C-alpha cells in the first residue's frame, strides 16, 4: 500500500474512549474512504451507531477485518490473544494493523504469533486519555499536541510505520519511535506508578473509620481530589496494565519506595534541608513540564 494514497477501508476493533476519539478526529479528514467498527456488546454497537462515528457497524469480528487496509485495535490488552487469533485468517495481504494498548512488550509477545508474513503489525500507544470509558466518553481533540509512541520490533515492515505515523499525525499527535522495553519503563514511572499511588491513597481513605472518612471527603481539596480522579480510572484496564507490565512497574516501584523511605526519615529527623531541597527540585520539574 502506498502511504501517500488515501486508504480505502479502516476497521476499528473496539470503540471506547480511545478509538471513538480517533474516529471522531479522523472523520472529515480525508484519511479513508470507508470505515467499519466491531465491538463485542450489542449495547456498545448501538451507542456507536447513535454517535454516527463510522460508515458500518459490524457484530462479527472475523467479518469486520475483511478487505481492511488499516486495522486499529482499541480493546483491553488481556483480550488481544483471543481477538488476534480470530482475525488472523481473514486479514488482507498488505494490511497494516496497529493498536493503542498501554503496554508494549507483552503486546508484541502475544500478537507476533498471529501476524501472517504478508501483514504488518505496528504497535502503538497514544499517550492521551481520561478516567472515563466507552464510546460516549470520547471527544474530538483528545490527541491534539500529545505524543504517540510506536514500538516497531524485529519483524516489523518499516515502510508501514509511515502509515501509522501519518494516522496519528493526522489527529494532531507528535510521534516517537521507541524500543518496547524502554516504552514500558518510561510509562511505568510516568503513568503506572502515579496510578498505583492514587489507587493506594484512595484505598487507604476507604479503610479509615467512617467518621474520619466523611471528613476527608467533605474537606477534600485539590490534592486528594486529584487522586480520586486518577483512582476512578477503568478497573479492568488498570488491572491489565499492572499485571502485564509487572517487571518494569516493580523496578520503578522499588526506586519510588526507596525515595519514600528517605523522605520519611527526613521528616522523622526534622531534616529541613532535605525537605526544602526536594520540594524545590520538584517544583522546578512542574515548571519545566508546563514550559
- The reply on whether position 152 binds ligand NAP by CB under 6 A is no
All three cell numbers of 147, joined, read 505524543
CB of 99 to ligand NAP, least distance (A): 7
- Residue with smaller CB distance to ligand NAP, 134 or 172: 134
- Residue 6 or 89 with smaller CB distance to ligand NAP: 89
Of 90, 83, 14, 86, the C-alpha closest to 54 is 14
Binding mask 86-105 for ligand NAP (x = CB under 6 A): --------------xxx---
CB 98, min distance to ligand NAP, A: 12
Residue 123, interface with ligand NAP (CB under 6 A)? no
Nearest to ligand NAP of 88, 273 (CB atom): 88
Minimal distance in Å, beta carbon 16 to ligand NAP?
2
Please identify, using beta-carbon distances, which residue of 41 and 287 lies nearer to ligand NAP. 41
First-to-last alpha carbon distance for the chain, in angstroms, is 40
- Is 11:70 a contact under the CB 8 Å cutoff? yes
CB of 56 to ligand NAP, least distance (A): 15
Please, which residues bridge with residue 56 across strands? 36
The interface with ligand NAP within residues 197-236 (CB under 6 A) comprises 234
Q: Which cell numbers in the block locate residue 9? A: 477501508
CA distance 171 to 24: 9
**What would you report as the CA-atom Rg of the chain, rounded to the nearest whole angstrom?**
21
E strand residue ranges, 132-184: 147-150, 174-177
For ligand NAP, which is the closer residue by CB, 115 or 148? 148
Task: For residue 197, count CB atoms less than 10 angstroms from its CB and return exposed for 0-12, middle for 13-18, buried for 19 or more.
Answer: middle
Q: Report DSSP state, residue 117.
A: T
For residue 13, list its beta bridge partners: 38, 73
Stretch that binds ligand NAP, among 37-45, 50-58, 113-121, 218-226 (CB under 6 A): 37-45
Taking CB under 6 A as the criterion, the residue among 15, 57, 149, 244 binding ligand NAP is: 15
Check binding of 133 to ligand NAP (CB under 6 A): yes
Which residues of the shown chain bind ligand NAP in the complex (CB under 6 A)? 14-19, 39-41, 44, 74-77, 79, 83, 100-102, 126, 129, 133-134, 234, 237
Amino acid at each position: 500500500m502506498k502511504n501517500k494514497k488515501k486508504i480505502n477501508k479502516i476497521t476499528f476493533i473496539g470503540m471506547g474512549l480511545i478509538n471513538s476519539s480517533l474516529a471522531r478526529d479522523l472523520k472529515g479528514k480525508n484519511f479513508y474512504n470507508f470505515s467499519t467498527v466491531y465491538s463485542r456488546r450489542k449495547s456498545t454497537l448501538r451507542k456507536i451507531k447513535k454517535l454516527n462515528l463510522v460508515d458500518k457497524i459490524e457484530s462479527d469480528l472475523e467479518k469486520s477485518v475483511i478487505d481492511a487496509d488499516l486495522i486499529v485495535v482499541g480493546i483491553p490488552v488481556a483480550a488481544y490473544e483471543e481477538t488476534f487469533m480470530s482475525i488472523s485468517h481473514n486479514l488482507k495481504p498488505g494490511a497494516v494493523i496497529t493498536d493503542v494498548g498501554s503496554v508494549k512488550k507483552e503486546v508484541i509477545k502475544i500478537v507476533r504469533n498471529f501476524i501472517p508474513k504478508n501483514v504488518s503489525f505496528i504497535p502503538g500507544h497514544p499517550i492521551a486519555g481520561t478516567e472515563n470509558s466507552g464510546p460516549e466518553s470520547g471527544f474530538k481533540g483528545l490527541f491534539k499536541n500529545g505524543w504517540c509512541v510506536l514500538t516497531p520490533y524485529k519483524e516489523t515492515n518499516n515502510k508501514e510505520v509511515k502509515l501509522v505515523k501519518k494516522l496519528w499525525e493526522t489527529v494532531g499527535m507528535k510521534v516517537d519511535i521507541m524500543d518496547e522495553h524502554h516504552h514500558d519503563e518510561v510509562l511505568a514511572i510516568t503513568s503506572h506508578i502515579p496510578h498505583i499511588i492514587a489507587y493506594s491513597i484512595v484505598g487507604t481513605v476507604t479503610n479509615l473509620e467512617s467518621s474520619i472518612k466523611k471528613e476527608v471527603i467533605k474537606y477534600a481539596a485539590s490534592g486528594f481530589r486529584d487522586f480520586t480522579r486518577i483512582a476512578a480510572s477503568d478497573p479492568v484496564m488498570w488491572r491489565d496494565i499492572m499485571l502485564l507490565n509487572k517487571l518494569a512497574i516493580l523496578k520503578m516501584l522499588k526506586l519510588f519506595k526507596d525515595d519514600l523511605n528517605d523522605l520519611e526519615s527526613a521528616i522523622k529527623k526534622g531534616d529541613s534541608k532535605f525537605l526544602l531541597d526536594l520540594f524545590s527540585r520538584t517544583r522546578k520539574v512542574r515548571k519545566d513540564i508546563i514550559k
